[in-house]
Amino acid sequence: TANIIGLGAIVQDLRLAGHDAPLVLGYDRFEPYETDRAFFGAVVGRFANRIRDGRFTIAGKRYQTERNFLDKHTLHGGSEGYFHRPWTVSLHGRDFVTLTLHDADGTMGFPGALDVTCTYRLKIPGTLSVELTATTSEEPTLCNLAQHSYFNLDDGGAGDILDHRLMLNAGAYTPVDAEMIPTGVVKPVDDTPFDFRQARALRMESEGEQLPYDLNFCLASTHGPLKQAAWAQGASSGVEMEVWTTEPGLQLYTGQYLAPSSAGLEGRQYRA
């Protein structure tokens, strides 16, 4: 089962038959979502991830977007990104819901109006399908949508995920600088801690501080047919999850920036 709320097109809860705990992080009450900046379960946009200095150029014209990250860069479309706005339920049925959002020209500094659609659909066996589309009839713009759920396949977030096993079908990644901005270089994962082509635990095998992950992994050079991007397994539950996508990249984020927050689902206290 999946619970969806209109604010941010958020996946508030996700359950699997036979597994007692929620699979995602979230809140029991609506109010914490109004101030949440961890983006639990939300669709983020107009542009997911970061834009250096909040500046970009299209067709020779420069644009400045709101700088809501370190007061220097744009993160997830700005402080009034899609994660923090009410979506409209346009269609729904027993196993699906479609939500829509109209983003006006100039919102957060982005050019052109955008009409965005998100459809969540439950499929047998144990599949949640997420379809994101966006169209514009005005000037060219940027659009980079993402679904920002946090997963814990063991205890729903009461404990950490370091012993979860992970596989990524990615032979390269995009390094970032100290402010989490991509350097523009694409590096192979060979002989790095970022090689998950063979399933292994997130926990580092060597002694020392645990390496946090917040990186884009390169799955392909272009958009294409649906393909498996990742596989994960809970350490104690044995619950397995596959991620399939048509997109060329996947962001792995292990929640190291999570701050103490309101009690999560069923009173769980989430921590980095």
190 compared with 207, residue with greater pLDDT = 190
- Average pLDDT in the chain: 94
pLDDT at site 42? 99
- Chain segment 116-160, per-residue pLDDT in tens: 999 999 998 999 999 999 999 888 999 999 999 999 999 998 888
Residue 258 above 90 pLDDT? no
Reply yes or no on whether the pLDDT at 79 is more than 70.
Answer: yes
Mean of pLDDT values over 88-116: 98
260 has a pLDDT exceeding 80: no
Asked if pLDDT for residue 205 goes beyond 90, the answer is no
What does the domain layout of the chain look like in residue ranges?
162-253
| Distance (Å, whole) CA 57 – CA 225 | 30
